Amino acid sequence: MATDASNSNIPPASPADSFISRVVVEASLVSPEELKACAAKQEKLRKAGHQVRLVDILLKAGFVTKTQVKRLAHRPDDTVTHSLQHLPGFQIMQKIGSGAMASVYKAKQLSLDRIVAIKILPKRLSEDSSFVDRFYKEGRAAAKLSHNNIVQAIDVGEHLGYHYFVMEYVDGKTVYDGFPEHGAYSEDKALDIAIQMARALEHAHARGLIHRDVKPKNIMITKDGTAKLADMGLAREAGDAEAAAAEKGRAYGTPYYISPEQVRGVEDVDFRADIYSLGATLYHMVTGRVPFEGDTPAEIMHKHLRTPLTPPDHINTSLSTGFGEVVERALAKNRDRRYQSTSDLLLDLEMVRRGEAPPQAHSGLNNQLLANLATEGAEVSDDSTYMPHPAQILPKLPMPGYVVPLIIALVVEFLIIVALLGVLLAGG
């Protein structure tokens, strides 16, 4: 979506908004003036703290229908023409996936005689510099990583106006694809995948990269059970202040798995956002449902901010206590109460797999207790025998409605008894 270059306070449009802006105008469903009015309304809502997709505003205004949007998102693919069947150094074999932003093909790398996957940006998006920049940024981010649990980047380039990204070919399926078959994953299977993903994220975070879109569709499982983190399309360097400032106020991520700070569009999103998204993914895997549901993306994201989480072991009662504690801590709405390193999360997951209590999850509970004591004004002296008052330790429980009247009645009864005793003593 085009923005007024004279107003530097307006952040750039998300890829999805840019895409829908382009196609609705190309299809003559919306005039440039109507699109500009919808974009202005979206910006006004954003400044008021409401994250709303441009397509939702177009739908509500009646400019497009859901059927039209669906057709636009699945227009005939313009990615590979006859000339691209012989991409220099590669032989394209078959299409294996597609989305609104790109299509993926299985191909043979001729020089090394090996099978690879090639993501190709459609011609209509190759003319948009913002899409091209993000496409190459994904390639550069992936190239910084070399880990068995991350899909390996091989090359990026351009041919006949088409931009392509060559990566490792994964012969398998996604975690999301396994839901119809498994319903909910077993705790053992979920732990195995979670540990591999924690290792992948530990590797990425150590190199200053935040994935920002961990979800079941971005976790590939090979035939031998190896889990691989895919799609670095939203990845960002933790220290990239320019990108952080440009994206301020916009929610980047997938609503079902997005962290609260991503919903708010804060500048300083860090590795803890990935920990939250992995926690949401694990929650989905072992319960068969996402942490929060809603009729619209905005409603779902609002629940990530405000709605208390139903513990996973309340839904799937066969889960171990330790596993539930790990998931709940990963899904803490306040990132300061989540795991403070990916290594800590990995340690707890490995302890749970060995049948032991997760020490870091328990440490988080103890730290929260100390925080509660501090906010209650408790002063701990150097005296090791100090014991806080029980009221400072026990959680504040809601008081039933009958308690106050009962206390009043008991006090009145006590005063009557004292008065009667006084009369009797005076008469004696």
Q: Phi, psi at residue 94, to the nearest 5°?
A: -160, 155
Same domain, 275 and 337: yes
Same domain, 220 and 342: yes
Same domain, 140 and 278: no
Same domain, 63 and 97: no
- The residues that are catalytic are 213
Same domain, 106 and 213: no
* pLDDT digits (tens), the chain, 428 positions: 333 333 334 445 566 777 787 777 767 778 888 888 898 888 888 777 777 888 888 888 888 888 878 777 655 555 555 556 668 899 999 888 876 678 899 999 999 999 999 998 887 787 788 888 888 888 888 899 999 999 999 999 988 888 899 999 999 999 999 987 778 999 999 999 999 999 999 999 999 999 999 999 999 999 999 999 998 888 888 888 887 788 888 888 999 999 999 999 998 999 999 999 999 999 999 999 999 999 999 999 999 999 999 999 999 999 999 999 999 999 999 999 999 999 999 999 999 999 999 998 877 555 554 554 554 443 333 333 333 333 333 343 444 555 566 677 777 777 888 777 777 777 66
> Closest Cα partner for 33 from 71, 2, 5, 73?
2
> Closest Cα partner for 122 from 73, 88, 169?
73
Residue 123's pLDDT is 77
Same domain, 69 and 86: no
What is the length of the chain? Answer: 428
Same domain, 149 and 236: no
Distance of CA 86 to CAs 25, 42, 104, 160, 312, Å? 33, 43, 15, 11, 50
**420 belongs to a structural domain:** no
Q: Which DSSP string corresponds to 370-397?
A: HHHHHHTT----S-TT----HHHHS--P
Q: What is the CATH number of the domain that holds 281?
A: 1.10.510.10
SS3 252: coil
Number of folded domains in the chain? 3
Helical ranges in 220-341 per DSSP H: 241-246, 260-264, 272-287, 297-306, 312-315, 321-330
Same domain, 26 and 102: no
Last residue of a domain, one of 73, 96, 116: 73
DSSP 8-state assignment for residue 272: H
Distance of CA 321 to CAs 40, 129, 172, 232, 327, Å? 49, 50, 32, 33, 10
Q: Which long-range contacts (CB under 8 A, 24 or more apart) does 187-191 make?
A: 187/286, 187/318, 187/319, 187/320, 187/323, 188/353, 189/285, 190/282, 190/285, 190/286, 190/323, 191/323, 191/349, 191/352, 191/353
Asked if 139 and 128 count as a contact pair (C-beta separation under 8 A), the reply is no
Residue 364's pLDDT is 59
Same domain, 247 and 100: no
Supply the range of the domain harboring residue 20. 15-73
**Cβ contacts of 365 within 8 Å, gap of 6 or more:** none
SS3 114: strand
Same domain, 290 and 155: no
